Structure 1
Amino acid sequence: MDKNVFSITPADIRDVLEDEHFITLSSYRKNKLYTDLNGCLEYGCIHWGLPRNPLKGFPRYKETTQEKLKEVEILDRYQFSKFLDAIPDNHQIYRDLFFWLYWTGMRANEAMSLTFADIKRGRARVWRQWDKDTSEFKQLKTKGSVRSVQLDDDLLNVVDRLREHYESFVHFSEDWFIFGGPRQLAYTTVQRIKNKALDDAGLPRVKIHSFRHSHASNLIDAGVPLFKISKRLGHSSVSMTTDIYGHLLRDEDDDIMNALKFK
Structure 2
Amino acid sequence: MGVYKDKLRGTYYVKYKNTTKRGFKTKKEAKLFENKVLRHKRFNDEYFCAVARGYLKHLEQTSKYSTYMKCQQVMEDFIIKNFPDKKISNITPQDCFEFRIKLSNSSYSTTTKNYILQKFKKVFKHAMTYNDLFSDPSVSLTSFQKTLEEDKNETVKKNTIWDENDFNQFIKYVDDNVYKVFFITLFYTGARLGEIRALTWNDFSRGKINIIKSVTSKTDHVTDNRKEEIVPTKTSSSKRRISVGSSLNEMLKDLKKQEQQKEGYNNDWFIFGGPRTLPTTSIDRKRQKAIKLSGVPFITNHGFRHSSISLWINKGVTITEVSKRVGHKNPGVTLGIYTHANINEDDKLLDILNNLQSETIKSSQDEA
Query: Which bin holds the TM-score, normalised by the shorter protein?
Result: 0.5 to 0.7
Match of 2:232 in 1: 139
Match of 1:87 in 2: 174
Match of 1:178 in 2: 271
Unaligned segments of structure 1, at least 5 residues = 1-66, 255-263
Looking at structure 2, the residues matched to 150 and 68 of structure 1 have their Cα atoms a distance apart, in angstroms, of 33
Equivalent in 183, 204, 213 of residue 128 of structure 1: 213
Match of 2:310 in 1: 217
| 2:198–2:270 CA contact under 8 A, matched in 1 | yes
Shift of the alpha carbon at 1:207?
A: 0.3
Q: Deviations over 1:112-156 (max 9, x none)?
A: 110010012321110012457355532122111111111211121
Match of 1:168 in 2: 261
- Tell which deviates more after alignment, 150-159 or 222-231: 150-159
C-alpha distance 230-94 of structure 1, shift in aligned 2 (>3 A): same
Shift of the alpha carbon at 1:232?
A: 0.4
Looking at structure 2, the residues matched to 198 and 102 of structure 1 have their Cα atoms a distance apart, in angstroms, of 14
| 1:230–1:241 CA contact under 8 A, matched in 2 | yes
- The residue identity in structure 2 corresponding to 1:75 is W
Looking at structure 2, the residues matched to 146 and 78 of structure 1 have their Cα atoms a distance apart, in angstroms, of 30
| 1:116–1:159 CA contact under 8 A, matched in 2 | no
Q: Deviations over 1:142-182 (max 9, x none)?
A: 11111111121112112211110111111211111111111
Match of 1:11 in 2: none
Residues 1:244 and 2:337 are matched in the alignment: yes
Looking at structure 2, the residues matched to 105 and 153 of structure 1 have their Cα atoms a distance apart, in angstroms, of 16
Match of 1:76 in 2: 163
SS of aligned partner of 1:203: coil
Unaligned segments of structure 2, at least 5 residues = 1-153, 224-228, 353-368
5 Å-filtered alignment, 1:226-237, equals 226-237=319-330
SS of aligned partner of 2:214: strand
5 Å-filtered alignment, 1:179-198, equals 179-198=272-291
Provide the identity percentage: 32
| 2:187–2:308 CA contact under 8 A, matched in 1 | yes
Q: Deviations over 1:16-67 (max 9, x none)?
A: xxxxxxxxxxxxxxxxxxxxxxxxxxxxxxxxxxxxxxxxxxxxxxxxxxx9
Match of 2:247 in 1: 154
- The residue identity in structure 2 corresponding to 1:74 is I
- The residue identity in structure 2 corresponding to 1:174 is N
| 2:157–2:299 CA contact under 8 A, matched in 1 | no
C-alpha distance 95-167 of structure 1, shift in aligned 2 (>3 A): same
Looking at structure 1, the residues matched to 164 and 230 of structure 2 have their Cα atoms a distance apart, in angstroms, of 33
| 2:185–2:244 CA contact under 8 A, matched in 1 | no
Shift of the alpha carbon at 1:76?
A: 1.5
| 1:216–1:229 CA contact under 8 A, matched in 2 | yes
Looking at structure 1, the residues matched to 290 and 321 of structure 2 have their Cα atoms a distance apart, in angstroms, of 32
- The residue identity in structure 2 corresponding to 1:239 is G
Shift of the alpha carbon at 1:106?
A: 0.8
| 2:157–2:298 CA contact under 8 A, matched in 1 | no
Residues 1:118 and 2:203 are matched in the alignment: yes
Shift of the alpha carbon at 1:236?
A: 1.1
Give the TM-score taking structure 2 as reference length. 0.47
C-alpha distance 68-228 of structure 1, shift in aligned 2 (>3 A): farther
Cα RMSD over matched residues?
2.3
Looking at structure 1, the residues matched to 174 and 237 of structure 2 have their Cα atoms a distance apart, in angstroms, of 33
Looking at structure 1, the residues matched to 209 and 156 of structure 2 have their Cα atoms a distance apart, in angstroms, of 29
